[in-house]
Structure 1
Amino acid sequence: MHNDRPAPLLETRWADCEEDVRDAQRLRYRVFAEEMGARLAPPDGTPPGLDADRFDPFCDHLLVRAVDPADAAKAPGPLIGTYRVLTPEAAARAGGYYTDTEFDLAPLAPLRGRALELGRSCVDAQWRSGSVIMALWSALGQYMVEHRLDTMIGCASIGLGDQGLEAARLWHRLCRTHLVEQRWRVAPRVALPLDAHNASDADGDADSDMAPPAPPPLIKGYLRCGARLLGPPALDVAFNTADLPMMLRVDDVSPRYRQHFFGVDA
């Protein structure tokens, strides 16, 4: 028996009410707390089952929903992906970027006036496909154009299920090929330990039987677009992750992605 029901459509839009933001925070809770085991510490008064922090009220929240074409007029569809973004003006009101809490961003001072921070990116486990990520990034690209911004900064997280071995080895591998020039490099406030054992593994020494790790899909996507590492990873104890600081400047975006995300004239 064939299922003739049309495939869900991906609807991308920005949150425009408190319930939209709550939906994003519920998805974040499911991914970060229930799936990844993060120990969240939301502000007092936050309802249970939400991932919230002090930056949320200052951010714009991007939402991707799976819409059933047959019921599009009846229901908005489940939320399957989200990002939050913090503009330079909003960051000034918030007292800085979230990334400031993990890294000393002083070297980026000349860029901050036109730098957007990306954060809290997550996709529902059943929807982790390229199409959802592309939908999110297309909306982010248009947002950059509309707000006349030319730089994205943020952290890309790697789980610490192996006590940080993969994250350290990945850093040692990528810092040779994807590290920004010296003037933009930032330092973590609490650094992930990067011992000699991890370094030798990443070097691919003859004595090592471990191949250099491949970047996780999200980091791989960033690098493919033209993103660069800003420095070594920070240790995020609450989220049980190593966070790599990353920056993507519009001028560095590869031509194929520049046209797709920012338009021909970007």
Structure 2
Amino acid sequence: MEKDLPSVAARGLGAVPGPQTGLDGILGRIGKLEVRLARDASEIAAAQAVRYRVFYDELGARGQVSQHLEQRDSDSFDAVCDHLLVFDTALPMPEHKRIVGTYRLLRQEIANTAGGFYSTDEFELDTLVARHADRRFLELGRSCVLPEYRSKRTVELLWQGIWAYIHHHRVDVMTGCASFPGTVPAAHARALSYLAHNCGAEGEWKVRAVAERYQNMDLMPNEAIDSRTALAEMPPLIKGYMRVGARFGDGCVIDDDFCTTDVLVVLPVEWIAGRYVSYYGGDSQRFAA
């Protein structure tokens, strides 16, 4: 989850579609579910409404008065991002009302012209990007799925869409914030400590939370952590990133607006486990051609 960065100028929130990418068709399909990018303002607005239902109604995010009045989670990044959408094609309603899940995607070349990445408010992402000037970064965020669609099938479909997207745009590194519920890191001591001891990005990929917001993740000694319990306590999104080979930044950040504790995902494409490359690779080649 994310929050607004005032340094990026608003461009008519939700009034225009995201950047044109050349990926106008279906990026993946499983049964009645399909994934593709938003094509117009009505679909972006509908995605914002889905985000509101999850982040505000379900998880208790605060936000601004205008967001509550419109019942849409929106910020200035929406106008410069691509919006990956999952549709339930069996729902008997207009297409933009069939959206059941969404991801927000911000490519480095777009971020460079729009004021930067979202996550730089919480993590020293600019330092990491500068260290890898020959790499193309993609920031993922605002991931959410409606409760009745939170299944392995929907997660697989989102990854089909992401694979097609990164293949088409030749992305080298994925990054972005992922969240634990609540603003007390100690409530997730076991899981956060497991990430700190076993899943930290190291060497040239190490990246820290910004100093003024840094919260220690190493809350328990490694020998005191039951790994099975720690993994069971991980939020599904974080567990999904771990499965494909992601590592995490040093330190977490409390986001009071969204009532979350955030960690930074670091995932160079070459780290992704081979079985996932094989599983999604065929579809990404086919849909992104």
TM-score after normalising by structure 1: 0.84
Equivalent residues of 2:34, 2:86 under 8 A apart: yes
Equivalent residues of 1:173, 1:203 under 8 A apart: no
Please state whether the residue corresponding to 1:244 is helix, strand or coil. strand
Pick from 225, 248, 251: which aligns with 2:270? 251
Once the two structures are superposed, residues 15-63 of structure 1 have per-residue CA deviations (whole angstroms, 9 ceiling, x without a partner) of: 0100010011000001001100011138x79961010111111100011
Pick from 28, 39, 49: which aligns with 1:16? 39
Q: How does 1:118-197 map onto structure 2 within 5 Å?
A: 118-160=140-182, 163-189=184-210, 190-192=213-215, 194=217
Identity within the alignment, %:
36
User: What is the number of residues matched between the two proteins?
Assistant: 249
Aligned residue identity for 1:89: E
Equivalent residues of 1:87, 1:116 under 8 A apart: yes
Counterpart Cα distance in 1 of 2:40 and 2:172: 27
Counterpart Cα distance in 2 of 1:114 and 1:147: 9
CA shift for structure 1 position 111: 3.2
Which residue in 2 is equivalent to 1:232? Answer: 251
Change (3 A) 1:185 1:131: same
Change (3 A) 1:263 1:247: farther
Please state whether the residue corresponding to 2:63 is helix, strand or coil. coil
Q: In the alignment, is residue 217 of structure 1 matched against residue 236 of structure 2?
A: yes
Which residue in 2 is equivalent to 1:57? Answer: 79
Equivalent residues of 1:153, 1:245 under 8 A apart: yes
Equivalent residues of 2:214, 2:252 under 8 A apart: yes
Change (3 A) 1:10 1:192: same
Equivalent residues of 1:8, 1:67 under 8 A apart: no
Q: In the alignment, is residue 31 of structure 1 matched against residue 61 of structure 2?
A: no
Which residue in 2 is equivalent to 1:3? Answer: none
Pick from 57, 80, 84: which aligns with 2:100? 80
Pick from 123, 145, 155: which aligns with 1:103? 123
CA shift for structure 1 position 8: 6.7
Equivalent residues of 2:32, 2:90 under 8 A apart: yes
Aligned residue identity for 1:249: P
Counterpart Cα distance in 2 of 1:109 and 1:47: 40
Change (3 A) 1:102 1:41: farther
Which residue in 2 is equivalent to 1:4? Answer: none
Change (3 A) 1:254 1:193: closer
CA RMSD of superposed structures (Å): 2.7
CA shift for structure 1 position 191: 2.2
Structure 1 residue runs of 5 or longer lacking an equivalent are 1-6
Counterpart Cα distance in 2 of 1:48 and 1:33: 12
Counterpart Cα distance in 1 of 2:272 and 2:31: 30
CA shift for structure 1 position 194: 4.9
Once the two structures are superposed, residues 136-165 of structure 1 have per-residue CA deviations (whole angstroms, 9 ceiling, x without a partner) of: 11011110010011110011100017x222
Task: Give 1 or 2 for the bigger CA radius of gyration.
Answer: 1
Counterpart Cα distance in 2 of 1:45 and 1:240: 16
TM-score after normalising by structure 2: 0.78
Aligned residue identity for 2:34: E
CA shift for structure 1 position 217: 1.6
CA shift for structure 1 position 193: 5.1
Structure 2 residue runs of 5 or longer lacking an equivalent are 1-29
Counterpart Cα distance in 2 of 1:48 and 1:28: 12
